Amino acid sequence: AQTVTQSQPEMSVQEAETVTLSCTYDTSESDYYLFWYKQPPSRQMILVIRQEAYKQQNATENRFSVNFQKAAKSFSLKISDSQLGDAAMYFCAYRKARGDYKLSFGAGTTVTVRA
């Protein structure tokens, strides 16, 4: 079974500053996908960024970037130039590349942005 661990229940960041959220995972698979989802108070899960395990290059989406360390099974999310709208719960998720389509989620990190 795959487990996803987010060790930071809460993080606070000043507006315009940078915050990094940690995620580690456990798997015996060599090919898989990793995701960061954002969940604001509306409960709507929004995909922020995805990473294919076979790609060495770290994914980037505007102000969001990841640091994917496959050997260490680590997948951190960096939010640059934080905005008030970034305040939400962030979940790290894992999915096998084949044979199993469900997402396995970490417990989440609540991000607060200070004005």
Partner 1 sequence: GAGVSQSPSNKVTEKGKDVELRCDPISGHTALYWYRQRLGQGLEFLIYFQGNSAPDKSGLPSDRFSAERTGESVSTLTIQRTQQEDSAVYLCASSRAPGTGVGNEQFFGPGTRLTVL
| Interacting residues toward partner 1 by CB under 8 A | 4, 6, 33, 42-47, 50, 52, 91, 93, 97-98, 100-108
CB of 62 to partner 1, least distance (A): 17
Dihedral angle sign, alpha carbons of residues 82, 85, 87, 88: negative
Q: 84 or 101, CB closer to partner 1?
A: 101
Q: 17 or 100, CB closer to partner 1?
A: 100
Phi, psi of 8 (to 5 degrees): -110, 100
Q: By C-alpha distance, which of 93, 65, 59, 61 is closest to 79? A: 65
CB of 52 to partner 1, least distance (A): 6
Q: By C-alpha distance, which of 35, 45, 34 is closest to 88? A: 45
CB of 3 to partner 1, least distance (A): 11
